[in-house]
Amino acid sequence: MPISKSMTFGFIITSTATSGKDPGQLLRAALSKRKEGAEVGIFLIGDGVYLVSSDPKKEPAATALSAVLKAGAKVFVSKDHLDAAGIASASLPKGALLVDKPYKELVMKVMEEWDRVVVC
C-alpha cells in the first residue's frame, strides 16, 4: 500500500547499541519513510539521547540520525534526559529540538499527531 504524503510516522528511541538495542534499523526505516514523502518525527528519550553526542565509529546510528535530520525529519530530544546524561545542549545536531516537558510533548505527539508509532 503506498504511503499517503499526509501520513505521519513517529519513531521513539529509548536506547542505543551500547545500551543493548540498535536503533540504526529504526532510523533507516524513518529515512525511507521520509524519502517516500511522509512526515517523520523522531523522539530521543532515555538512553536514546546519547545518539546526539555519540562517535559514529562507536555508535553507527548517530550517522543515521544525521541523515534523517538532513532529509527533513523532525528530531525532538528530552532536555531532562540530556541533562541526566551530562550532555550539553550545544551537542544537539543542527535542526534537533530540545523539549522541556518531554512526557507531555511525547503523549501529545503519540495521541494527536503521529498516525503510526514505532519504539526501540
Q: What percentage of the chain reaches a pLDDT higher than 90? A: 65
- Return the domain boundaries, the chain: 8-119
Q: Per-residue pLDDT tens for 95-108?
A: 999 999 999 999 99
| CATH level 3 topology of 8-119 | Hypothetical Protein Ychn; Chain: A, (3.40.1260)
> What pLDDT is recorded for position 59?
75
> What pLDDT is recorded for position 2?
55
Strand partners, 94: none
Q: What percentage of the chain reaches a pLDDT higher than 70? A: 88
Residue 72 makes CB contacts below 8 A (sequence gap 6+) with 34, 40
d(CA 18, CA 38): 30
d(CA 48, CA 26): 12
Model pTM score:
0.89
